[in-house]
Structure 1
Amino acid sequence: MIKIAIYGKGGIGKSTIAANLSAALAADGRRVLQIGCDPKHDSTRLLLAGRTVVTALDYMRQTVPAEQSLNDLLHTGYGGVVCAEAGGPEPGVGCAGRGILSTFALFERLGLNTEDFDVVLYDVLGDVVCGGFAVPLRKGFADAVVVVTSEEFMAIYAANNILKGVHNFDGDGPRLAGILLNSRGIDEDPRPVERFAQAVAAPIIGRIPRSDRFRQAEKTHRTVVAAYPDTPEADLFYDLARRLAQNPVRVPARPLDDGLLEQIVLGGDGSTVIEDAAVSSSAFPIDQDAPAPLDVIAQGGGTAALLSKSMLFREPLHGCAFTGAISMTTQVRGAVTVAHGPRSCSHIALRTILAGGILTRRHGGDIMPRQLAPALVCSDMNEETAVYGGGDRLRQTLKRVLAESPSAVFVVNSCPPGVIGDDLAAIIRDVTGDFPGVPILPITADGNIRGDFMQGVLNACTEGAEALIDPALSPEGDRVNVLAEKNIANNAESNFRMVADLLACLGITVNCRFVRDTTVADLKNFGKARLNLLAYDDHFGRVLRDFFLDRFGSAFAAHPFPVGFFESARWLTDIAAHFGKTGAAEQLIADHRQRYREQMDRLRPHLTGRRLMIVSYIHDVDWILETAFDAGMHVEKVGILDYTQDHLFRTRYEGRFVVQTGYTAEQRDQDLTDIRPDLLLCNYVPGALPITVHADGIPLCPDVGFGGGVALARRWATLLKAPIREGWRDDAPEAA
């Protein structure tokens, strides 16, 4: 038995050659199975007298799995050749390569046994660089590869690319049976093919001349072997069939690089390509506004403003841009997010959002419908839509959602539609005319292809801002916007209330939360605020701030949400100065100063002189240091771990403690052994430490306001009163 894959450039005549080869093999008494692996599904047409048969992919689309049968897909043609066609989507939609994968999986599931045949022949579209079309090259499928080419350079170029694919699968031994020359005409020069074959050390196993008999046979929907069995053309296929069926010698695939290929095939020195490239460069200058390469971005290129930290520094990606985008769009009340992708992707995103909502409810008793019941609808892609394209399914989903008259619809792609290239803009244009009053906004995500969770958050924020904010509005009244809150933090709502209460004491109201628990109207009215407040001055917050400065000229407060007394007093003073409310701020700060002093006086006797070590992902720990220093503690070491959210360590206490960035767990263990602090503070307290030590957690998102540090200091005082080691651990076991 032998399995043969026939590859070659589209339109080179593979299907005609494959059908004639199968007919010749059958005429020689071989049991033959021919599988067409081309969306045109015309590979077996000449074997089936021109009859159109259902393709495997159409069959999967039309027939439920419980009713599928292999007999519906296998069709007997000339000479008893068993024929099957994979099929594929219409040009420009879906993924034909995925279709080939699905076809082979279907055949396997339905029990196709290739061992029942003497020869299995795969007719494969060969000028597409796609893993799906490489399926016949994988282990267990074709064990001999025939590459069809003509004398034309582009056909040979495609043949060379095919050899590159064959080379990638040569690990289990060589499989290239040779090159088959399908001539374009009697006057064509075969020497380019001969030079190419010699250069790649592959035999030319056949030469098919240009003949009118092929055209005449095709008019009657037959092969030359069937229509003209006693002709030289048929004899060529009889001879080729005998040689291929008798376990031919196979050689390694040795593809050429493009420059050498042109030099050998065209017989030149490669200067043509160089000259053409020079002409192209001068005729079409580089777009100065095009995105810079990542190496330039990392050095401060302009497009860095739109990249998450993990993307910017090429770190391992944390989470998925699809989920990140949805975590933002579902915060808009009255809007609906359409997740274009498989149901499982939406489920994962939903679980992430629900987790944030549950934590918020547990922490402060808050119930946010947008987190516990987000307005999220899935287009429910499956294997069929991955092959044929998800456009129809997305259109249907959008029309169903738009019929409910939402205030806006966000469309977010997961990986599969991003991979197959569903055109969101075109699909949205198709449905917009029927629902002119509802904005439909595509958000760049493509699952995790475009980046990590934070990249999805950034894309949703910036693209949503561009689409919804009215740039013509001017500030009015004492209003502020709040930006860059952490929607999945368990204290996001309580932190906002604390900030809103402090602002209310100055007579300032919140105009828009960008983007948390907001509305489309709030977003449109973003420009009515006189000042914008960042919740966090981390990488995300800074990128968002720079975007609004550049795009809308928005004014920002100098500091993010404050934690601890110093930051809160500074924050209020700056905001009050902007709004002309300095007197009210001074009185408010004075009231809190008295309360803070009273609280620290009660804590100081329990904490003074205690030695503290801090290990944190957070790059701004001044609120912890302020509390520790005000309580009389000694800060022995601060280790700053690498973090997906930030990379800029800053402190106003420079010189008062030892700090090390890029900290590791190994360094932490060594420092604990050397320093032996009274108290270790970490974001996550490790389960096993080299010494027994009092340890407490640092929240990744601390509580804001004047008392943010004091609340933790109370925990430290209580913790340090307890024995460093539980007493029961010292109990001796009772004698037996």
Structure 2
Amino acid sequence: QPLPSEPGEEEDKPSSLLDSWGTGDAWADFLAWGELAREQLDSMDPGNIFSFIQHSDSECLHVNPHTGGSVVWLINHPWENRIRHGQGSQEKFDVAEALEQGMITSELDEDDIVLGNPQKLKRLLAAGEKIHRRTGKPLFFSNTCTPVVIGEDVESEVKRFARRSGCPILYLTVTPRSMVNVFNDVLVKRRLRAEEETPESRPNTVNLVGFRQDPELDHLRSLLGECGIEVNEAIIPELTYDLVDNLPRAGLNVLYPNAQWQHLYEQLMYSSRLRSIQPPAPFGIAGTLNWLERVLSEFGMNGALSEKVRLRAGEAREAIERLRERIARCRLGIVVRSSQARYLTDPSQSWGVPLVGMLEELGFGLDVFVKVTGRQDAAAAARQIHSFFRQPQMHVIKAFKDFDGMLERIRASSAQAFFSAHFFDWRLTSCGKGIFSLQHFEMGFRGAVRTAERLVRLCSTPFYDRLSCYLQRAKAGTFREGEP
């Protein structure tokens, strides 16, 4: 059986960061999926497995400020908990650990870029070899944009180094496709050895794959426990040798639906004796119940939801019902290009979050604005999105063709907030609209209530509506002076 291979150039997958920043209609991109694909390894936590070395200019390491807690990002990353659970819920900053797991870099300067300096790469690799001899960890080598642009043959030098030194080394470039088999040795080879050494799995035990280590995971673990299911390990995005070695103790992998991590799942399932399922993620009350029932059915425990779980679901419904009047005064908006309609209809494309389905369940009406090229394009996109609505009477779908038309749609909308993956999105704030992102959504019963409360507060905040006149931009991109 062949190892999982790289995906083909599928039409529905971004291939580079240019899908977010470099296309002719980038002004209509609010999802930043190409950038998220480029940064997908940032969503993983493999620091305990590898030593990181990077061939780059120093500025590449300072795109975002580096402090004890991240302050500013270009993108609202869906794997972070800044909005869901607070800035520090996942970040355990320790200076000693940071020094031990930190990255060393070649720190290319202007002369290196203009004149070339292959010795810096050789010195970087030599330093990496010393670290490997001391720690025993494989090297994780990142080749960044600058060496690629100046045409330096980095890959050949890395291959020669690996043959000469015998250091295990993973080579990564700046494209999403280069990330596909980065963890193959861990997720395939080491995991298969662990399965051979662990002949039996514990009954009624699962691994949760693709679930963050945060309060939501604790909630899901509690719900499963109340139904008689034990969680063995939660792996990806957290990744350690111990987690991989312990996976065979469970008899079932429950995968979180996320297209960006699918290649990791395939490596985890390759030739495995463990069964794997990938039900829709447990967002919303109905979604959480369905997820629990799907897991239980794998162990022949159909209809085994505990009374305590049903009680929790009922309490969450009552809490959302108490918000119903306030939700009715709220409206949310989503802007997509016609080629991106799948992000609204396939949750695995939107980091597992069923954007439309969960917002409908909570009772929010939607304004969906679609960037189109013509009538046929508009009709096809509208049909695709409309067919996914369970309550189409609550929603509006409208098209636009150009930048001014998009801003006109947004400005005239009664929605108080629009979806955007961009941290600072003046396209929305200058129109008087707030911003929500995937970070606003939580799993589980408790998460459904918190999501509704969070979105209601956002819609009720008049900051951008009142001050939008100060946030207008002139054609040159500078802010205009406005009158209150």
TM-score, length basis structure 2: 0.64
TM-aligned CA deviation for residue 456 of structure 1: 5.2
Which residue identity is paired with 1:708?
G
Q: Verify: 1:310 aligned to 2:36, yes or no.
A: no
Q: Is the 8 A contact 1:322 1:412 kept in 2?
A: no
What pairs with 1:505-524 in structure 2 (closer than 5 Å)? 505=226, 506-516=228-238, 518-524=239-245
TM-aligned CA deviation for residue 701 of structure 1: 6.3
Q: Is the 8 A contact 1:340 1:413 kept in 2?
A: yes
CA deviations on 1:349-370 (whole Å, 9 max, x unpaired) are: 8968976699758435444358
Q: Is the 8 A contact 1:611 1:679 kept in 2?
A: yes
Find the counterpart in structure 2 of residue 713 from structure 1.
452
Q: Which residues of structure 1 form unaligned runs of 5+?
A: 1-288, 301-307, 433-439, 487-491
Which residue identity is paired with 1:405?
T
TM-aligned CA deviation for residue 574 of structure 1: 0.7
Query: C-alpha distance in 1, partners of 2:427/2:60?
Result: 37
Query: C-alpha distance in 2, partners of 1:357/1:532?
Result: 35
TM-aligned CA deviation for residue 599 of structure 1: 0.8
Specify whether residues 429 and 369 from structure 1 end up closer, same or farther in structure 2 by C-alpha distance, changes over 3 A only.
farther
Which residue identity is paired with 1:442?
I
Find the counterpart in structure 1 of residue 325 from structure 2.
605
What pairs with 1:93-104 in structure 2 (closer than 5 Å)? none
What pairs with 1:125-524 in structure 2 (closer than 5 Å)? 297-298=9-10, 309-311=14-16, 325=41, 328=44, 331-333=46-48, 335-342=49-56, 344=58, 347-348=61-62, 362-369=86-93, 373=98, 375-378=101-104, 380=106, 383=112, 387-388=117-118, 392-394=122-124, 396-406=126-136, 408-415=137-144, 416=147, 419-432=153-166, 440-446=167-173, 448=174, 451=175, 454-455=176-177, 457-462=179-184, 464-471=186-193, 472-473=195-196, 476-477=201-202, 478-484=204-210, 493-505=214-226, 506-516=228-238, 518-524=239-245
Query: C-alpha distance in 2, partners of 1:515/1:312?
Result: 21
CA deviations on 1:364-395 (whole Å, 9 max, x unpaired) are: 54443589827134263654996445675355
Query: C-alpha distance in 1, partners of 2:63/2:398?
Result: 36
Q: Is the 8 A contact 1:482 1:533 kept in 2?
A: yes
Specify whether residues 611 and 582 from structure 1 end up closer, same or farther in structure 2 by C-alpha distance, changes over 3 A only.
same
TM-aligned CA deviation for residue 462 of structure 1: 3.9
Specify whether residues 587 and 443 from structure 1 end up closer, same or farther in structure 2 by C-alpha distance, changes over 3 A only.
farther
CA deviations on 1:102-123 (whole Å, 9 max, x unpaired) are: xxxxxxxxxxxxxxxxxxxxxx
Q: Is the 8 A contact 2:333 2:418 kept in 1?
A: yes
CA deviations on 1:174-214 (whole Å, 9 max, x unpaired) are: xxxxxxxxxxxxxxxxxxxxxxxxxxxxxxxxxxxxxxxxx
CA deviations on 1:76-117 (whole Å, 9 max, x unpaired) are: xxxxxxxxxxxxxxxxxxxxxxxxxxxxxxxxxxxxxxxxxx
Query: C-alpha distance in 1, partners of 2:415/2:163?
Result: 64
User: Which shows bigger deviation, 599-608 or 353-362?
Assistant: 353-362
Query: C-alpha distance in 2, partners of 1:375/1:320?
Result: 23
Query: C-alpha distance in 2, partners of 1:544/1:529?
Result: 18
Specify whether residues 639 and 562 from structure 1 end up closer, same or farther in structure 2 by C-alpha distance, changes over 3 A only.
farther
Among all aligned residue pairs of Structure 1 and Structure 2, give the percentage whose two residues are the same amino acid: 14
Q: Which residues of structure 2 form unaligned runs of 5+?
A: 23-33, 73-79, 373-380, 470-482
Which residue identity is paired with 1:669?
L
- Helix, strand or coil at the partner of 2:441: coil
Query: C-alpha distance in 1, partners of 2:333/2:355?
Result: 11
Q: Is the 8 A contact 1:495 1:704 kept in 2?
A: yes
Which residue identity is paired with 2:219?
M
- Helix, strand or coil at the partner of 1:339: strand
Which residue identity is paired with 2:241?
V
CA deviations on 1:292-324 (whole Å, 9 max, x unpaired) are: 9x9x73379xxxxxxx63259977685699975
CA deviations on 1:156-188 (whole Å, 9 max, x unpaired) are: xxxxxxxxxxxxxxxxxxxxxxxxxxxxxxxxx
Q: Is the 8 A contact 1:444 1:459 kept in 2?
A: no
Query: C-alpha distance in 1, partners of 2:37/2:320?
Result: 44
If asked which structure has higher relative contact order (CA below 8 Å, sep 6+), I would say 2
Q: Is the 8 A contact 2:432 2:466 kept in 1?
A: no
- Helix, strand or coil at the partner of 2:450: helix
Specify whether residues 528 and 543 from structure 1 end up closer, same or farther in structure 2 by C-alpha distance, changes over 3 A only.
same
Q: Is the 8 A contact 2:208 2:231 kept in 1?
A: no
Specify whether residues 349 and 377 from structure 1 end up closer, same or farther in structure 2 by C-alpha distance, changes over 3 A only.
farther
Specify whether residues 651 and 370 from structure 1 end up closer, same or farther in structure 2 by C-alpha distance, changes over 3 A only.
farther
Specify whether residues 531 and 695 from structure 1 end up closer, same or farther in structure 2 by C-alpha distance, changes over 3 A only.
same
TM-aligned CA deviation for residue 589 of structure 1: 3.7
Q: Is the 8 A contact 1:321 1:456 kept in 2?
A: no
Query: C-alpha distance in 2, partners of 1:720/1:325?
Result: 33
Which residue identity is paired with 1:458?
V
CA deviations on 1:558-586 (whole Å, 9 max, x unpaired) are: 32532211111111111122234455534
Q: Is the 8 A contact 2:132 2:139 kept in 1?
A: no
TM-aligned CA deviation for residue 444 of structure 1: 3.0
Specify whether residues 598 and 673 from structure 1 end up closer, same or farther in structure 2 by C-alpha distance, changes over 3 A only.
same
- Helix, strand or coil at the partner of 2:138: strand
Q: Verify: 1:533 aligned to 2:272, yes or no.
A: no
Specify whether residues 346 and 573 from structure 1 end up closer, same or farther in structure 2 by C-alpha distance, changes over 3 A only.
same
Which one has a bigger Cα radius of gyration? 1
TM-aligned CA deviation for residue 709 of structure 1: 3.6
Find the counterpart in structure 2 of residue 677 from structure 1.
414
CA deviations on 1:654-696 (whole Å, 9 max, x unpaired) are: 755445799976554343456x425333236854669976645
TM-aligned CA deviation for residue 401 of structure 1: 1.5
Q: Verify: 1:594 aligned to 2:314, yes or no.
A: yes
Query: C-alpha distance in 1, partners of 2:219/2:401?
Result: 33
Query: C-alpha distance in 2, partners of 1:718/1:654?
Result: 23
What pairs with 1:71-90 in structure 2 (closer than 5 Å)? none
Query: C-alpha distance in 1, partners of 2:305/2:250?
Result: 20
Q: Is the 8 A contact 2:418 2:435 kept in 1?
A: yes
Which residue identity is paired with 2:162?
I
Which residue identity is paired with 1:419?
D
Which residue identity is paired with 1:344?
S
Pairwise CA RMSD: 5.0
Q: How many residues align?
A: 404
Which residue identity is paired with 2:446?
G
Q: Is the 8 A contact 1:600 1:630 kept in 2?
A: no
Q: Is the 8 A contact 1:341 1:379 kept in 2?
A: yes
Q: Is the 8 A contact 2:220 2:444 kept in 1?
A: yes
